[in-house]
């Protein structure tokens, strides 16, 4: 049995995954992927087909760094947005693979918003409707009315509540993209953001206790993780495994939850090796930018973050 387990781990590694503990992505689980896709909606060289292909088997995909809306709509102040075809192509690839999507009402950022640029971002969750549906009766949406230059957040986080089709599991996913860079001031800003999120959770947990914070937290090392993690929360990436594609490896991406309440989180954490996975899709006339690694070309074609994956166990009866 031990030999079989070792062979399975070797196969997983060969396929481009780093796995912390054991994971099961089957019928009785909800598989969730969080993926910062570098300035999604801006690059003309993005291989949206390849990215959607590696995401198609997950039940929920939360994306950070969408910098432009894909379709015509209006902002909350009733002014029209400017849709971007480079964003639309990724959405259409995901829709073709059976996903529905939930897009935030507007963008958010540290400066001016309602502009299609890397200075602000939209939040989006893709989900398989045969597995989960939006739980609109639970806390949802932006954590604050002021989405621009908010004093509490670099980018105001967005809560996506879901419920399994059988009604036995509901939960709220909070997508975040915290302040970047390694200075002490930046670290303090990230810690403040996480405290603000935990305070929002505490103020909104009267009808739901299962809140999961996930995304690009820009955590620099385990020392920062220990000091920034909100009280009673833990990270599935507690070993601080690197989640970026650049040679300077950093544990940027995390999944945080409160074990006291959210028992359904399985003790697993998968990091998809994007450089290894994308090699099989490369058809360009130029050499594959992952070998040798060309950071600027690779992130324009794919991303500078690896997708991270975890799963929730669906109970046999309503989890209340």
Q: Is residue 320 part of a domain?
A: no
Q: Is residue 318 part of a domain?
A: no
In angstroms, rounded to a whole number, what is the distance separating the alpha carbons of residues 264 and 96?
30
CATH of the domain at 125: 3.60.10.10
Pick from 196, 238, 197: nearest CA to 219: 238
Q: Which residues of 142-155 are buried (b: 16+ CB within 10 A; e: fewer)?
A: bbeeebbebebbbb
Query: How many independent structural domains does the chain possess?
Result: 1
In angstroms, rounded to a whole number, what is the distance separating the alpha carbons of residues 222 and 11?
28
Q: Is residue 284 part of a domain?
A: yes
Q: Is residue 68 part of a domain?
A: yes
**Residue 69: domain span:** 2-313
Listed as ranges, residues in the chain with pLDDT below 50 are: 1-12
**Residue 120 CB contacts under 8 Å (≥ 6 apart), including other chains:** 67, 107, 108, 109, 111, 112, 113, 114, 148, 155
- How far CA 69 is from CA of 7, 177, 186, in Å, comes to 44, 17, 28
Q: Judging by DSSP bridges, how do beta strands 269-272 and 141-142 pair with one another?
A: unpaired
In angstroms, rounded to a whole number, what is the distance separating the alpha carbons of residues 112 and 118?
11
Q: Is residue 319 part of a domain?
A: no
Q: Is residue 74 part of a domain?
A: yes
Q: Is residue 153 part of a domain?
A: yes
pTM of the entire predicted model: 0.94
Q: Is residue 21 part of a domain?
A: yes
Burial class of residue 180 in the structure, from the number of CB atoms within 10 Å of its CB (0-12 exposed, 13-18 middle, 19+ buried): middle
The pLDDT of residue 8 is 41
């Amino acid at each position: 049995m031990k030999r079989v387990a070792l062979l399975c781990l070797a196969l997983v590694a060969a396929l481009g995954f780093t796995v912390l503990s054991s994971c099961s992505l089957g019928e009785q689980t909800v598989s969730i992927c969080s993926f910062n896709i570098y300035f999604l909606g801006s690059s003309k060289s993005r291989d949206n087909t390849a990215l959607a292909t590696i995401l198609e088997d997950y039940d929920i995909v939360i994306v950070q760094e969408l910098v432009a809306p894909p379709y015509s709509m209006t902002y909350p102040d009733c002014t029209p947005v400017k849709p971007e075809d480079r964003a639309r192509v990724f959405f259409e690839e995901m829709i073709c693979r059976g996903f529905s999507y939930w897009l935030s009402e507007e963008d958010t950022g540290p400066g001016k918003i309602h502009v299609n640029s890397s200075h602000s971002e939209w939040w989006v969750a893709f989900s398989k409707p045969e597995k989960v549906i939006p739980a609109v009766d639970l806390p949802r949406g932006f954590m604050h009315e002021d989405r621009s230059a908010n004093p509490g957040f670099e980018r105001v986080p967005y809560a996506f509540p879901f419920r399994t089709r059988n009604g036995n599991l509901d939960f709220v996913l909070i997508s975040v993209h915290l302040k970047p860079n390694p200075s002490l001031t930046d670290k303090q800003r990230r810690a403040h953001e996480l405290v603000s999120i935990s305070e929002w959770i505490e103020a909104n947990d009267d009808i739901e206790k299962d809140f999961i914070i996930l995304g690009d937290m820009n955590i620099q090392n385990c020392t920062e993780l220990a000091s920034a993690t909100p009280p009673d929360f833990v990270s599935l990436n507690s070993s601080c495994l690197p989640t970026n594609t650049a040679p300077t490896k950093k544990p940027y991406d995390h999944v945080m939850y409160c074990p006291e309440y959210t028992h359904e989180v399985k003790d697993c954490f998968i990091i998809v090796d994007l450089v290894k996975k994308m090699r099989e899709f490369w058809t360009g006339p130029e050499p594959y930018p992952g070998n040798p690694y060309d950071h600027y070309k690779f992130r324009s074609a794919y991303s500078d973050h690896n997708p991270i994956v975890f799963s929730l166990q669906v109970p046999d009866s309503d989890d209340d």
